[in-house]
Amino acid sequence: MAESMKGLHRTHRCAELSVKNVGETVTVMGWVQKNRNKGGIIFVDLRDRSGLLQIIFEGKDISEEGFAKAEKLRSEFVVAVTGVVTKREGAVNSNLATGEIEIRANDIRILSESDTPPFPIEENSKTKEELRLKYRYLDLRRPDIQKNLIMRSKVATLTRQFLADEGFLEIETPLLNKSTPEGARDYLVPSRVHPGTFYALPQSPQLFKQLLMVSGYDRYFQIAKCFRDEDLRADRQPEFTQIDMELSFVDVDDVIDVNERLLQKMFKETIGVDVQLPIQRMTYAEAMDRFGSDKPDTRFGMELKNVTDVVKGCEFGVFTGAIEQGGSVRGINAKGQGNMPRKKIDALTAFAKDFGAKGLAYIQIQEDGTIKSSFAKFMTEDEMQALINAMEGEKGDLLLFAADKDKVVFDVLGNLRLELARQLELLDKNVYKFLWVTEFPLFEWSEEQNRYVAMHHPFTMPMDEDIHMLDSDPGKVRAKAYDIILNGTEIGGGSVRIHQDDIQEKMFEKLGFTTEQAYDRFGFLLTAFKYGVPPHAGLAYGFDRLIMLMAKEDSIREVIAFPKVKDASCLMSDAPNVVDDIQLEELNIDIKKVEEEQ
């Protein structure tokens, strides 16, 4: 039987109480975590979002009726308890914020009862994720998830405060938009009023925030829901949240400056981490060369070394073949791994092949100085020594090499470096290494589409000193684009935008759009630009990923209240789902019947 709240007021959350409150009469409300009946005395751990509190029910403090109610309690019952805060008589529980006190109850109301939950509500749950997500509302009661969502809220609040202080305005942009295909697949919403037409949900507020700059709002931000219909990976969700911003009358350094201070504040005030400013910057070219990645994890070394010049005269066809094709030979030095068993090296080779390597060449320098290598027989002793020297190889080291087109070599060694770091446990979650990667290429060649595509988006400004190469050598043009990397994860990115129409036209031309096609897609933006557009730039953070790293979680599902799973479905609500025929009729939609395969 559920009782009412009539006349009752909660005075404190459970973990707000401490020895300072001893002697006070308080009323707390929450869920029963645990109850132990020791005959004449009942111990209950009460839980709310602040934490746990021990309640004692004993005949001398409470009516018979009250005691009888306490005897009926089960896990997850919701109760209100009024009682006196006392110092613990039994052992102090130092694991608990309220471990020095207990409440001696003199009244209790059972506000609602609970079925036995399908899994225990506890920290570090061992329950399978599918079950947790099916009963997400129970999973969300667990202290570790509550901690994450509380942190998420705090970061959002700090962001709003900071950006407001810096003169930013929070402005909402629409969710129902016109599809402007470029980038990921859109989520579409059929229009009832205009049969046969569709809205697209935003992949980002990009065009609208640029329009707000045209409109003179100067500094905009939004904590914005974005939608991308992509194949999901561990750190992706079909809908996700960005901290999105745009600023007028600025260049790269201005955007970086305000964001460094934002990050510093976020990290200091939520997790007590000092972010040293300025944050290190590295060009895209340097990041690729040293780490084989445009989002290098700089918590550890094991940098790539280019040994093309060292091996170009040798007899090893794999090396020389790659060089003749215009590629390179590069290596990494796994310090102290010289005795790695063959089986493990084979596993690394298989891993490298997943990233396009044809194989992996290695040198093991054993503790006694003898050398084992997959390609020693093709090398003279001098060549071998020169290669080892170039790699700074010492006794006990394992040297791994890839030879191919640069793109493949970077991909293979960049990922191998991370895999080795995982195996060697070099990735300390307590260390936060930030890095700006700048000067990205403006274009990327798409083999699929046989044309250049914009690496960031088509409104990104080329670097001033490279504009002259737009016609002669577009592949070489660098952009005023920047990413902010944390521990090898891209947590945000942005660019200075083009505000001169001649450069924008050239950009479209290089991307293979006619002026007509460009107007068809982005017409409202391009027209707006004819009416006085300020120079502007912006950036967006992947809010979920940022919180994931701050919370030291491995998946963004742990920092999103109601996440979807890999196939973009919600295990709790069963979305997506079929709709009534009448809804389809109103939308003029016929569902093709797909023959079920046996």
Pick the stretch among 302-310, 317-325, 347-355, 533-541 that binds ligand ASP (CB under 6 A): 533-541
Residues 500-519 that bind ligand ASP (CB under 6 A): none
454 binds ligand ASP (CB under 6 A): no
The vertex-24 CA angle with 23 and 29, nearest 5°, equals: 130
Dihedral sign of CA atoms 229, 234, 240, 244 in order: negative
Nearer to ligand ASP, 228 or 305 (CB): 228
Is 460 in contact with 496 (CB distance < 8 Å)? yes
Pick the stretch among 98-106, 125-133, 465-473, 536-544 that binds ligand ASP (CB under 6 A): 536-544
Which neighbouring-strand residues pair with 99?
Answer: none
Nearer to ligand ASP, 83 or 492 (CB): 492
Distance between CA 145 and CA 141 in Å, rounded? 7
Q: Which of 494, 536, 558, 563 binds ligand ASP (CB under 6 A)?
A: 494
Distance between CA 198 and CA 167 in Å, rounded? 36
Nearer to ligand ASP, 360 or 481 (CB): 481
CB neighbour class for 124 (10 Å; exposed up to 12, middle 13-18, buried from 19): exposed
Residue 399: phi and psi, rounded to 5, are -105, 130
495 binds ligand ASP (CB under 6 A): yes
For residue 180, what are its two tokens? 């402007």
Nearest alpha-carbon partner for 572 in 130, 20, 62: 130
Residue entry with tokens 């088509």: 458
For residue 431, what are its two tokens? 């260390």
Residue 433, CA distances (Å) to 279, 280, 281, 470, 486 in order: 9, 9, 12, 35, 6
Pick the stretch among 8-16, 424-432, 461-469, 489-497 that binds ligand ASP (CB under 6 A): 489-497
Nearer to ligand ASP, 49 or 225 (CB): 225
| Minimal distance, residue 25 CB to ligand ASP, in Å | 54
Rg (CA), the chain: 30
| Minimal distance, residue 482 CB to ligand ASP, in Å | 9
CB atoms within 10 A of CB 377: 8
Residue 437, CA distances (Å) to 236, 274, 504 in order: 21, 20, 24
Nearer to ligand ASP, 338 or 494 (CB): 494
SS3 1: coil
Distance between CA 401 and CA 49 in Å, rounded? 52
Nearer to ligand ASP, 318 or 454 (CB): 454
Residues 330-349 that bind ligand ASP (CB under 6 A): none
Nearer to ligand ASP, 50 or 204 (CB): 204
| Minimal distance, residue 495 CB to ligand ASP, in Å | 5
Residue entry with tokens 């600023």: 247
Q: What is the DSSP string of 201-238?
A: --S-SHHHHHHHHHTT--EEEEEEEEE------TT--S
Nearest alpha-carbon partner for 563 in 545, 540, 539: 545
Pick the stretch among 320-328, 374-382, 519-527, 537-545 that binds ligand ASP (CB under 6 A): 537-545
Which neighbouring-strand residues pair with 32?
Answer: 46
Is 70 in contact with 42 (CB distance < 8 Å)? yes
Pick the stretch among 72-80, 260-268, 281-289, 491-499 that binds ligand ASP (CB under 6 A): 491-499
For residue 462, what are its two tokens? 């080329």
Separation of first and last alpha carbons in the chain: 50
Is 529 in contact with 519 (CB distance < 8 Å)? no
Determine the residue with CB nearest ligand ASP.
Answer: 204
Nearest alpha-carbon partner for 413 in 452, 363, 360: 360
Which neighbouring-strand residues pair with 240?
Answer: 226
Q: Which of 338, 441, 538, 563 binds ligand ASP (CB under 6 A)?
A: 538
Nearer to ligand ASP, 66 or 493 (CB): 493
Pick the stretch among 108-116, 217-225, 338-346, 534-542 that binds ligand ASP (CB under 6 A): 534-542
| Minimal distance, residue 179 CB to ligand ASP, in Å | 16
Q: Which of 201, 539, 547, 560 binds ligand ASP (CB under 6 A)?
A: 539
Residue 150: phi and psi, rounded to 5, are -65, -40
Distance between CA 15 and CA 479 in Å, rounded? 51
327 binds ligand ASP (CB under 6 A): no
Q: Which of 279, 461, 540, 571 binds ligand ASP (CB under 6 A)?
A: 540
**Contact characters 237-256, ligand ASP, x per CB under 6 A:** --------------------
| Minimal distance, residue 534 CB to ligand ASP, in Å | 16
Number of shown-chain residues binding ligand ASP (CB under 6 A): 8
**Contact characters 83-102, ligand ASP, x per CB under 6 A:** --------------------
Pick the stretch among 361-369, 438-446, 520-528, 538-546 that binds ligand ASP (CB under 6 A): 538-546
DSSP 8-state symbol, 260: H
206 binds ligand ASP (CB under 6 A): yes
Distance between CA 162 and CA 175 in Å, rounded? 25
Pick the stretch among 94-102, 299-307, 408-416, 535-543 that binds ligand ASP (CB under 6 A): 535-543
Q: Which of 493, 504, 510, 545 binds ligand ASP (CB under 6 A)?
A: 493
Pick the stretch among 7-15, 98-106, 145-153, 532-540 that binds ligand ASP (CB under 6 A): 532-540
73 binds ligand ASP (CB under 6 A): no
Residue entry with tokens 């940098």: 303
| Minimal distance, residue 205 CB to ligand ASP, in Å | 7
462 binds ligand ASP (CB under 6 A): no
Q: Which of 159, 204, 241, 259 binds ligand ASP (CB under 6 A)?
A: 204
Residues forming the site for ligand ASP (CB under 6 A): 204, 206, 493-495, 538-540
